[in-house]
A and B are shown apart, each in its own frame.
Chain A
């Protein structure tokens, strides 16, 4: 066992045991070196026992978050049992992992895109299973949610191949091969711009090149904060996308966030020199959908070419300050329940869908194409029921032709850009009550992963259709 002042490196980023230190940090508990066994001998023994030198490739090694990768293992023995493992350390320092059991073919090859995974955190032929089936490693804190805060750096994932079918103890065993892959939230050249203007707090992402580009106002939900990763991806697909912060207890008082706030934000985006003022969209998730529908229906300023609402509802129109909207909602809090695991089920708050028009956005007034993306197992908002009601209202008002509804069975509330892990529930802070709870989102992992992949493709297609290719767009 070499000491940390080993003779061959005096200084630098890594020493021999420094190297092991880094491995330890990566794993929590690395190889057991307390026996004094030489690190080098340990690895050599394992490799020569295995015989062949497996080759693991992940292509592309640097990809966008919403891009698929190809994982291929070669040079195994024929019909060799192996486990493919993925490991990621989040910005919060938690470890997430996934794994799948495979058997190589007669050439000693495993091709994830076409071979069947026999078990693990996913099964079947699942090209991206090693990412979307990730979950916190055993012993982690509970209620975790994986979200990227710094979108200018990639998500780094270690993919490893282990001999045999393993289900645990990955950190104690030396893999046959390891490859590291980066998943980026921006393409090269995308510009990130801090927006702090007229009291509006936002981040604008601009595609590379001179533009101008269609603009998207991007709204998240009641979790609040400034969530940038969807906008950075939209910019990577050619949209000038602005993520808007509207729920930030330290910086913005809910009494001051009203229709004028959203209109100001929209105008800031629209007036930007790299944005095409007549090619705009609004995209909202969860509570952001209520904002989107309200603005599209009522605002004289916000007149987008199209709108997308994910997992939202038209109930509780945002035609006053957020403070007042939340006060209205509080009256129905008794409809919010908890299950046996103490997880909060929020969906009942708008059920039954009210018949009183004052309690709903008048969607009959919407004049642009509207895409609704809903989850069949949404435990947070009754979005499917809301969509049915909206459809009826639009039928009556004569604008039903503008509506497209996508419903994904067994998906949960948080339909986000694809290839991120699914979690059925996670920690949440109820803004006004400052209470820490566990919120139930719903969904089953595989259908949810499919929903995210398919919905994202459809959302991008919808935006491209109405913002890039529409002949109805005024020149």
Chain B
């Protein structure tokens, strides 16, 4: 089996991408060919493919409708995307039109392809890099899409940013980040957005949050502008928080911190111990309290290095971090989550191969029961979801290339998760995260 690995930056920082949706029909016998011709001289039907909205936000659902097909016609719906790295991604589903000659993505079943069942967004979340060759099924297409002429094509755009959202580069002394502001005069509730150990500046979650009414600042904290790991300590995050808080378009008493993976670990550490970072609520995705981040990032990585022997590699040469994180936690101090004073939402996948998120959530719960602040804690655990729980409708990757900053080596990292369950987790978690933020930041509740 050939496995293809692509970097996790499927959508990197670009704020727009396009997909082609095509209806394809395979003609693989003479009788089919004749019947097709007969149909066209009697009545010129042109299948109509409509996708609404044709320009939507990345976290918005779309509705695909096909009309004017002959009844009970086998068709394949196909999506194609070329990433910024020039790789091609595709997904497809096999459908049969009803007696009116229609296919409706929201209510009809896909009988096979890269997704199955009634999955209105399957054409996006089940995308994968275009493989070499595959065996096809008769009547429906499974390969060779580029050689077939589609019955109809529609191009859609999925945007990471709503109209009017402003992007502001943050470069204040050593602090590096990007602030996204909703349109209008504000002021708005603010969110400090922290990603994981993959590094660089990943803007799309903040741009989406700004599209939903939050002034969201994503912070680059892993050697931005050559800042040394030794110099990245708690004060770096406190300064960043203050930059956000003091912005004239941000409500200084309506703030949240949202972190994923290492960002989640940092979130919990800061919120529990910092005198400066006191948000109204925080969200920790696929992170935990297992490693207290108190000195600097270099010290943090040193702890990891000491336990590097606990790194497992499976039969596909994919690196699994789970056990390393477990063993580090036993040797260092955990974050004293009993000291957290604001509502906290944990979002975890139970197939997380990088961080033992479910186990740590249980441990956190126990600590908070003892400390008397259990009522602040809310835990969402998603079955068969992996580590990378991101905004919805992006493809799932069970493993990808990963650059380890502390070893300076490229490995293949196993994140975990099964595609359909992971897609569901992303969709549901995002809704709940937004609702949680709206609730605790007193922002107007939008239907979503």
Contact = CB atoms under 8 A, between A and B. Distances in A.
A171 B247 CA distance: 22
A71 to B, nearest CB: 14
A174 B168 CA distance: 22
A17 to B, nearest CB: 10
B153 A209 contact: yes
A74 B168 CA distance: 29
Nearest to A41: B248
B69 to A, nearest CB: 15
Given A8-B243, A9-B172, A55-B446, A180 B53 contact: no
A118 B300 CA distance: 64
Contacts of B18: 188-189
Given A178-B184, A189-B18, A9 B170 contact: yes
A44 B164 CA distance: 21
A463 to B, nearest CB: 13
A27 B102 CA distance: 49
Nearest to B173: A10
Interface stretch (A59-67, A218-226, A311-319, A371-379): A59-67
A421 B257 CA distance: 45
Given A178-B185, A209-B152, A57 B166 contact: no
Contacts of A19: 248-249
B163 interface: yes
B155 interface: yes
Nearest to A47: B187
Given A8-B243, A12-B169, A53-B443, A180 B187 contact: no
Interface in B160-180: 162-164, 166-173
Contacts of A473: 44
A45 to B, nearest CB: 11
A62 to B, nearest CB: 4
A475 B41 contact: yes
B405 interface: no
Interface string A50-79: 001111010011111000000000110000
Nearest to B55: A62
B366 interface: no
A156 B54 CA distance: 17
Nearest to B41: A475
B184 A177 contact: yes
B55 A16 contact: no
Contacts of B243: 8-9
13 contacts: A9-B171, A12-B171, A43-B186, A44-B187, A53-B444, A156-B163, A158-B164, A178-B164, A181-B163, A188-B18, A188-B55, A468-B44, A475-B41
Nearest to A209: B153
Interface string A23-58: 100000000000000011001100100001111010
A89 interface: no
B157 interface: yes
Nearest to B187: A43
Contacts of A8: 172, 242-243, 246-247
A115 to B, nearest CB: 18
Interface in B298-355: none
Contacts of B129: none
B444 A74 contact: yes
A60 B56 contact: yes
Given A61-B162, A209-B152, 16 more contacts: A8-B243, A13-B168, A14-B166, A40-B248, A43-B186, A52-B444, A62-B157, A75-B445, A175-B184, A178-B183, A182-B55, A189-B18, A208-B20, A208-B155, A209-B154, A470-B44
A181 B55 CA distance: 12
Contacts of A62: 53, 55-56, 157, 159, 163
B1 to A, nearest CB: 33
B155 A188 contact: yes
A2 interface: yes
A184 interface: yes
Nearest to B46: A468
A55 B444 contact: yes
A376 to B, nearest CB: 34
B187 A12 contact: no
Contacts of A60: 52-53, 55-56
A168 interface: no
Contacts of A13: 166-169
A194 interface: no
B163 A160 contact: no
A179 B186 CA distance: 11
Interface string A388-431: 00000000000000000000000000000000000000000000
A60 B162 CA distance: 10
A471 B44 CA distance: 7
Nearest to A12: B169
8 closest A-B pairs (Cβ-Cβ)? A180-B164, A189-B155, A178-B184, A209-B153, A12-B169, A55-B444, A62-B55, A180-B163
Interface string B218-256: 000000000000000000000000110011110100000
A187 interface: yes
A16 B41 CA distance: 66
B155 A187 contact: yes
Nearest to A161: B184
Nearest to B251: A44
Given A9-B168, A53-B444, A208-B20, A158 B55 contact: no
B54 A188 contact: yes
Contacts of A208: 20, 153-155
A43 B52 CA distance: 37
A12 B168 contact: yes
A156 B165 CA distance: 12
B442 A53 contact: yes
Interface string B39-52: 00101101000001
Contacts of B169: 11-13
B13 interface: no
A175 B44 contact: no
Contacts of A43: 185-187
A425 to B, nearest CB: 32
Contacts of B159: 62
A296 to B, nearest CB: 23
A178 B166 CA distance: 13
A473 B164 CA distance: 46
Contacts of A53: 442-444
A210 interface: yes
B150 interface: yes
Contacts of A175: 184-185
B72 interface: no
A55 B443 CA distance: 9
A188 B152 CA distance: 15
B32 interface: no
B111 to A, nearest CB: 25
Most chain B CB neighbours (cut-off 10 Å) among A75, A179, A188, A469: A188
Contacts of B171: 9-12
A7 interface: yes
Nearest to A7: B172
Contact of B164 (A64, A179, A468): A179
Contacts of B43: 471
Contact of B156 (A174, A188, A470): A188
Most chain A CB neighbours (cut-off 10 Å) among B54, B154, B170, B186: B54
Contacts of A10: 171-173
Nearest to B149: A210
A473 B40 CA distance: 12
B163 A61 contact: yes
B77 to A, nearest CB: 14
